[in-house]
Structure 1
Amino acid sequence: VTRNTGPSGHSVPAQVLQTADGVFKAEFVPRVVGEHRVSVTVEGQPTVGSPYSAKVYDVTAIKVKNVNNGTVGKPVVFLVETSQAGPGNLEVTVNGGRVPTSAQAQGQHTYAISFTPREAQNHTVELRFNGQDVPGSPFTCKVSPAARIVANDLMDKVSVGHVFEFLVESDISPVVEVLGPARRAVRADVVPAPAGYKVKFEPIEVGDHSVEVRLPGSGHVEGSPFLLKAYSAEKVVVTDIRPGVVGKSVSFGINASQAGAGNLEIIVAVGGKNVPNFVQSEGNARFKVNFKPTEAATHSLSVRFNGYPVPGSPFACHVTHAPVSLSKAIASGECLRQAPVKCENIFELEGFDGIDPQVLITSPSGDTVSCRVTCRDEVHFASFVPTSVGRHLISVTANDQHINGSPFSCNVFDVSRVAISGLDHHNTMASL
């Protein structure tokens, strides 16, 4: 005789069938989950072990909730509720057991199942209860790459007034917050892009800007937060540019204290050639630049900040020769006053103390007469051959300064064109 009792104490009908001599089979259909007690008696006596315990479960009563898609590197969590399923063992595997899982009780009959995907691919989630597949199992969880900021190597500085942009690789639109130096919010525009979302904003003041990028309902994306330094080349001031002298150090000042973080690029050039310069820090983003010119010409001073020219750049610095004393410099020779045409005329130059004199001879018509200057034993000799008669100007200078008496007036004559007539045999002298 078999008697079955359900969890609530109610009797469950059972049918006993003889299958062989001395062998009987008892069958019953449980209607509720839980522990059933099965009592077996033979001729009024209980069999050994009777009553027996039969644990009844219902795999179809298991509910799986919140199976959402996931992201690489972030836990995927879903809930399994077994309150109506009866006693048993829940088994969860992801990708055939290759991805570790964990279960945490959320109450008496609810479990939070979690796993952390490492690859951006569909993950297969299988659930079994007492060895049977849970309805709907296996589930598919789509795993996307982790959202991240795509940055270049120069993504640490931006010029005030210029748009700064970067890309966020994400399947959903990110939430972006940009805060200026005084924690004032800066508007940021987020627009769809082929590979995710493009973020644009324009800093309006110099200083550090904090950029935070999150996904809705989630934390920071990879690369967030980051710090962006806003600068302004317009706030760099160049001062104290004064005329220079060949061979002597020339200096000027640069004040970048209000310009923000960045690099100064300073180029001093003359005639297409760079002149070495030396930068000395004076503290608080103030600098003194020195260079020693070797040519008497206007020098170009180019100053850039993070690649942008500062206001007024390039600047001009006028360089001249050092003033020299020509008090001892003299020119001597008859041809400084008068000289025959088409003949070589030579005059001497002394007292120049190692400085080369320059000689310029101009004919009455304004043409330049060729002049050759040679030096022997610290005395210079200037020779020229005039080709026309009349008043010639002879300028003698050193470092653009005239010596005493310069320019000289030389009367060039042609003796062959003098004709004499009507003279008697008395000696006569005349001055022309």
Structure 2
Amino acid sequence: VFFSDLDDCNYSIKFIPKEMGVHTVSVKHKDMHIPGSPFEFTVGPIQGGGAHKVRASGNGLARGEVNSTNEFNIYTREAGAGGLAIAIEGPAKAEIDFFDRKDGSCGVSYVCPEPGEYQVSIKFNDEHIPDSPFNVLIGSPFGDAKKLTIHSLQTKGHEVNRPCMFTVNVNGARGRLDARVTAPSGAEDTCIVQEMGDGMNEKKTSIIPIYDKLFSVFLSIAEHYAIRFVPRENGVHWVHVRFNGRDIPDSPFRVVVGHANADPGRVFASGSGLYQGETGHPCEFLIDTMNAGAGALAVTVDGPSKVQLDCREVAEGYRVSFTPTAPGDYLITIKFAGINIAGSPFKCLVGGVGYNTNRGIGSLSTSSSYVQREQSSSYVSNSRNNYGFADASRVRAHGDGLLRAYRNEKATFTVDTRDSGNGMLMVGVFGPKYPCEEVFVKHVGNNQYNVQYTVREKGEYMLVVKWGDQHIPGSPWHIEVV
């Protein structure tokens, strides 16, 4: 790979392919994939193009400022030949400028004369590209929001289920302070905003926070505030801090939880089920995550019928299957650590006769599956099983029950003890006051166990999983029950 500095913060990247086919190109800045990366790059004839192969990214698709230039990029190379159309609708007519780079990508800039919510539609051959239309909030200039400063924000070294905290100085500004956090999986949660007293010591306050769907809102009359959140996943989190409805400078802030070694550029999907299928028959494909590190894997299928996603862990990663009940096009989106892997979304063409699904003509249904992948061990054994002493370091556990639980609802997870020797599996859940009332452990075959537990009270619980007398990797887990 050859890099050339073109000045003005622009770089040229060149590489010489050695073979035909689809290549994955990862471009990172400060160990983070840039928007759109990893890129799919086909050497030779492009097959299976279309609107689903067009990507768009950039700040101008998320937020913008009135009477300022807002920008984003569109990548059309892998889509093949076709027409691109861009439309922006909102409170006022936006001025749009389009620049074709002649390399399969183009730059788009626009200026909105009035604040408000705008809708950016991008179509390829009269078909919306993935995630289009985009809802963009165009705000007024920063105003008092530019006065706010962030302090004591630790950008890495955090742990799952351990509180993260930083402080905000409003520097005399008065208004509404609010914050939220976006996890690698895309899940959003509120941050707790609390007034702080003189000397940066926390104090109780009689001011009542006002909550909406995503933000914890605080009316600002003090100078210093503490903002807290509890991460539930490993990976990169984005913390949004707003003042009077406007992001403060540099918001959102990047915070790394755990080891940020999750690399979507090293995840690959293969199998005929990504491209074609038949109604009533399983569409199956493999997701290879062996070299991708630890991170959240999310699979979504959009199509004419709702499907049941079956996700099974295998040696290479995960084998996923679904059975469509109606013919048509199904879009399979695969994200790792919140980023599309190369080639995603995939279009699966399903033929055959449709079953009665009681759905209207032209309606679409979405099905999703979510897995938190732990870091794989580098240890390799020459034999399938080790019948010696129990080795807890080689036991693996996965499932939503390790991340979250809800009062009076069953939480489940799976424990895999293959290649970990002979041992006894012990599971315990202890709460703020009492132990968990119900914990069921069932051997489901092949040295794998299904664990279910139910808690009756809210609060922070400790989940312990031991193989023999040793904790397995990740144990103990700290789970907030709501």
If the length of structure 2 is used for normalisation, what is the TM-score? 0.25
- Larger Rg over CA atoms: 1
TM-score scaled by length of structure 1:
0.28
